[in-house]
Structure 1
Amino acid sequence: MPKINVYLPDELAEAVRESGVPVSAICQRALETSVKRVTAIRSATIGDLGGEDPTGKLPHFTERARATVKIAIEQARSDGSALVGTEHLLHGIIREGNNMALKVLAATEIDPQKLLEDLPEPTTGDHPADRFSGPLANAFELAVTEAITMGHNYIGCEHLLLGLVAEQDGTGGQALRAAGAELRSTRGAVAAALAGFVHHRDQKTPGDPAAAVAALVGKQLKPLLDRLDRLERHVGLE
């Protein structure tokens, strides 16, 4: 059977040794699940967008994420673009209006409307926009990878945001990075926002959930980023 090396931070490796968990079986199961999800999204983003609901074949997407992709497709067709690109997905995230990605942008002091203003003017035409662009397909795949890494069994708008930030070629990611979005800090903000949302929900705190989430992001983001720094030092990613 082929062997694949898996590198772990020192503290995690020590905890694994002490616990005696079946590392091989766990890794095989996790990798099998990851391969299936990445393969599924790769298959879903290749081919035309015909049919009544082109988002129906996007696996594990939440309703808000599907609505975001639908808006992106509508925007591309309104622009007369031949392809649905990362800039259209960024439009979709912002125009959907009530998703976790927008809360993360607000918490990291990035103005969504300014993002839209800074996007290049679309090249208009009369094309049907019946396919996802290569960069957008890559962004979807990166979003799935981010969700898997976080241990999530769904793809939400926050994962789509991370996919856009991570994808290097599309104008959507370029606009986000120009506005100050950086993958590590955005990833930390997503984790903090999700933790804050769960805390707010469990506490049944009155008031504006978005404001509560933003406040908790500010409190939780620094320790999360500090931990990411330690992990990166352990695996030599500085």
Structure 2
Amino acid sequence: MPKINVYLPDELADAVRDAGLPVSAICQRALEFAVRRITTIRQTVLSAIDDEELGTQLTSFTARAVAVLKLARDAAGGGQIGTSHLLQGMITEGSNMAVAILRSMEINPSRLTSPADETGDGGFSRPAATALELAVAEATALGHNYVGCEHLLIGLAVETEGGAGRALREAGADAKSLRRSVSAALAGYTQAKNPAAQNSALLMLVRRELAPLIKRVEALESR
């Protein structure tokens, strides 16, 4: 059986060792899960893109993420879907976490303009397909069992060939900043659900600002 080395930060390695966790088995399961997600994306990229197929194949994608893909397909007008269409679909949907993250970074989504990718025959362009795969990888790296618009936003920023990535990075939404913002938003959501701080004025403000995100995550948890 082939061997793959996994390198961990010192603190994490010590914690894993102290807990006596079966590293090999855990890594194997995580990799199997990630491979299944990526394989599904590639199969979808190579196949016809209709509403039923998007809904049934991309089961790990949230409803809003699937809606964004449908809007991107509509924006492409029957042509090949590029990263600019994915970004446009995200902005058009309007109520997803990715848009909220951009606004929190003082980036006006409606002012983002993205040059089109090189066109081809149907399906997703190569940069768009790569961005989708990167979105899955980002969700896996963050330990999330779903792929949302926030992960797609990071995937677009990481991807180097498409127009959407260039537009995001020029606006200040690089991958590092986006990862930090997503983590902060989810940390705020966790704090807002802590009953020990219910009387905190600051928490009440946080709860009000994060109410749409809390509703979204609770809907995901109830699936």
Q: Deviations over 1:21-62 (max 9, x none)?
A: 11111111111111111112121221232x453422223111
Q: Percent of aligned pairs with the same residue?
A: 50
Give me the whole-angstrom Cα distance separating, in 2, the residues matched to 1:67 and 1:207: 30
Counterparts of 1:47-196 in structure 2 under 5 Å? Answer: 47-49=47-49, 51-56=50-55, 57-77=57-77, 82-115=79-112, 118-120=113-115, 130-196=122-188
Give me the whole-angstrom Cα distance separating, in 1, the residues matched to 2:158 and 2:102: 15
The residue type paired with residue 2 of structure 1 is: P
1:8 matched to 2:11? The reply is no
The residue type paired with residue 7 of structure 1 is: Y
> Cα offset for 1:198?
3.9
Give me the whole-angstrom Cα distance separating, in 2, the residues matched to 1:154 and 1:195: 17
The residue type paired with residue 164 of structure 1 is: L
Partner secondary structure for residue 146 of structure 1: helix
Number of paired residues?
A: 205
Give me the whole-angstrom Cα distance separating, in 2, the residues matched to 1:47 and 1:156: 21
Asked whether the equivalents of residues 138 and 167 of structure 1 are also in contact (C-alpha less than 8 Å), the reply is yes
Deviates more, 1:92-101 or 1:202-211: 202-211
Match of 2:19 in 1: 19
Structure 1 residues 45 and 12: CA distance shift in structure 2, 3 A: same
Q: Name the structure, 1 or 2, with higher relative contact order (CA <8 Å, separation 6+).
A: 1
Q: Deviations over 1:207-227 (max 9, x none)?
A: 79673479xxxxxxxxxxxxx
Q: Deviations over 1:88-123 (max 9, x none)?
A: 0100111101111011101112110110xx323799
The residue type paired with residue 20 of structure 2 is: G
Deviates more, 1:54-63 or 1:178-187: 54-63
Give me the whole-angstrom Cα distance separating, in 1, the residues matched to 2:206 and 2:184: 17
Structure 1 residues 94 and 169: CA distance shift in structure 2, 3 A: same
User: TM-score of the superposition, structure 1-length normalised?
Assistant: 0.77
Partner secondary structure for residue 83 of structure 1: coil
User: TM-score of the superposition, structure 2-length normalised?
Assistant: 0.82
The residue type paired with residue 142 of structure 1 is: L
Asked whether the equivalents of residues 103 and 193 of structure 1 are also in contact (C-alpha less than 8 Å), the reply is no
Consecutive unaligned residues of structure 2, counting only runs of 5 or more, are: 213-223
Structure 1 residues 178 and 187: CA distance shift in structure 2, 3 A: same
Tell me the C-alpha RMSD between the 2 structures. Answer: 2.7
The residue type paired with residue 93 of structure 2 is: E
Consecutive unaligned residues of structure 1, counting only runs of 5 or more, are: 215-238
